[in-house]
Structure 1
């Protein structure tokens, strides 16, 4: 991998794999793309002398099935080896790679002169994404509803999570680019540990949660979709333990069949059950 465009000022690393569906169960490919791919992006930035790198991360790096309310960037990483899915584990490792690369020295003659030839990095931890062009969550949700599979909700209806509209997520990335450029005398972005400040902007070396700032129950959030499709909203709520058990069984069946060359899109995975039904609210104030 290389950054061939001369004069590039910033790289936005938005690519990832295995966020949902059957791709989530392909552990090898998920690890290769999310971890090895990120190593390659960092190396390419340094080799090409691109001084700023913004990494699209995820809430999952701190969430592992334990309810979180009003979480901040001071929360520790959830141990990668304890995640039930490779996507969350690999994104945790990749984010740490990106942030640890902050301050890496760039070659002579590079654009990294702000004021030193060093790489400035930050991570944007996105909530679940919706909006125009989103291809992972809502197309799958709509297909499930149209097939009559939206027949239950899961867990406590008072449980709330964050979502982020794609426009807000794009805005966050643009602000990150801007504040990797800004000198330290500029106004600091609140949130997150500040001990790793470099000679770059105030966002250098930092991670930020990004959401709409309007936590909502996942199934209430989807009520508008079911209404628009003419699908009856479920009246029955399944307990979390039952859905975890079902998801675990589905994953085992998928692994067995995929080894035989037969793949299918699982109804739900354990990681998706946890994300759907357990509270996950974070302070995304910037």
Structure 2
């Protein structure tokens, strides 16, 4: 059994590739290396360098490797930047997903796991996000992910009565952190963990944006989930699709409880051994007090669980970042 991982040279995609291989599934990677790293692709895994916007390339990859399904991770993932670059975001995430679906249809590939985002919910006014909550994305990035889910749904409906119906599910998650392999680290310039790591390595003081929120310690509470758990859920979703088993259209990969920014900072100091007191900066506009998702459906169907403590998450991410030099 062979599955294509789009964006398989990226931080999340590379973990998915390793999780597939560990489960006895042969991975194939396509990535344009705009944010990924060729070194993240394990030796022996077929790697096609190119863009998912090239339908001929995607279709050829599917046919050449006898691909049974696609785990679609590739995309422009920076919600804040998407506000300044909406057209680029839509090109990469909406048109890119359309092209992948078109290539799959042409090649007769009928299974897809879509790496979506909790950004489809926007800033919900409930403490615990469930899958049926209204979708009110607050950025072009969130909108592009929701449109991707719509495209999967519509293609599924359109092909339902055919000999090759599309089987699909979308996985939504918030902040992915840590590492399951010291050769893979989060190199995003926008995510909390790498921002703190880079500040500590440079001898600077990490910042907390606001400490007067309506939370136990005054700082934002968010979902932080380990990338190893995320990758494992993608693999189980792929296995269920391949086996013809029933799946939901979408799952939240949530922590159920969340962690505050202060708790993250305390763990950073504890694990790294670098004592610091975070600098308190003003709130950022639009930051809600708390956004945490339930993972009950995913626990039921995808063996989803949070298997790592906050110290585990920080330690694994820190070790991977230091190993990168």
TM-score by shorter chain over 0.5? yes
Task: State the structure with bigger RCO (CA 8 A, min sep 6), 1 or 2.
Answer: 1
Q: CA deviation at 1:169?
A: 0.5
Task: Find the counterpart in structure 2 of residue 250 from structure 1.
Answer: none
User: Aligned to 1:11, which of 64, 67, 70?
Assistant: 70
TM-score where L is the length of structure 2:
0.61
User: Aligned to 1:89, which of 134, 137, 143?
Assistant: 143
Q: Tell me, in whole angstroms, the C-alpha distance in 2 between the residues paired with 1:47 and 1:283.
A: 37
Q: How many pairs are equivalent?
A: 223
Task: Find the counterpart in structure 1 of residue 37 from structure 2.
Answer: none
Pairwise mapping of residues 271-286 of structure 1 onto structure 2 (< 5 A)?
274=287, 277-285=288-296, 286=299
Q: Tell me, in whole angstroms, the C-alpha distance in 1 between the residues paired with 2:143 and 2:205.
A: 29
Moved more, 6-15 or 173-182: 173-182
Q: Tell me, in whole angstroms, the C-alpha distance in 1 between the residues paired with 2:281 and 2:96.
A: 40
- Does residue 1:65 correspond to 2:91, yes or no? no
Q: Tell me, in whole angstroms, the C-alpha distance in 1 between the residues paired with 2:83 and 2:268.
A: 24
Gaps of 5+ in 1: 107-111, 184-200, 245-269
Gaps of 5+ in 2: 1-54, 180-184, 300-325
The answer to whether the 8 A contact 1:13-1:55 is kept is: yes
Instruction: Flag the 1:148–1:9 CA change in 2: closer, same or farther, 3 A.
Output: same
- Does residue 1:25 correspond to 2:84, yes or no? yes
CA-atom RMSD in angstroms: 2.7
Q: Tell me, in whole angstroms, the C-alpha distance in 1 between the residues paired with 2:111 and 2:153.
A: 12
Higher radius of gyration, 1 or 2:
1
Moved more, 36-45 or 128-137: 128-137
- Does residue 1:143 correspond to 2:195, yes or no? no
SS in 2 for 1:223: helix
Q: Tell me, in whole angstroms, the C-alpha distance in 1 between the residues paired with 2:95 and 2:118.
A: 20
- Does residue 1:233 correspond to 2:266, yes or no? no
Q: CA deviation at 1:98?
A: 2.0
SS in 1 for 2:70: strand
Q: CA deviation at 1:225?
A: 1.9
Q: CA deviation at 1:167?
A: 0.7
Q: CA deviation at 1:75?
A: 1.0
Q: Tell me, in whole angstroms, the C-alpha distance in 1 between the residues paired with 2:68 and 2:132.
A: 29
Q: Tell me, in whole angstroms, the C-alpha distance in 2 between the residues paired with 1:182 and 1:31.
A: 32
The answer to whether the 8 A contact 1:182-1:202 is kept is: no
User: Aligned to 2:242, which of 171, 181, 202?
Assistant: 181
TM-score where L is the length of structure 1:
0.68
The answer to whether the 8 A contact 2:114-2:169 is kept is: yes
Q: Tell me, in whole angstroms, the C-alpha distance in 1 between the residues paired with 2:186 and 2:279.
A: 28
Q: Tell me, in whole angstroms, the C-alpha distance in 2 between the residues paired with 1:229 and 1:12.
A: 38
Task: Find the counterpart in structure 2 of residue 164 from structure 1.
Answer: 225
Q: Tell me, in whole angstroms, the C-alpha distance in 2 between the residues paired with 1:235 and 1:135.
A: 23
Task: Find the counterpart in structure 1 of residue 186 from structure 2.
Answer: 134
Residue-by-residue CA offset, 1:177-231 (whole Å, 9 max, x unaligned): 1222344xxxxxxxxxxxxxxxxx3116x10001344411133123222452625
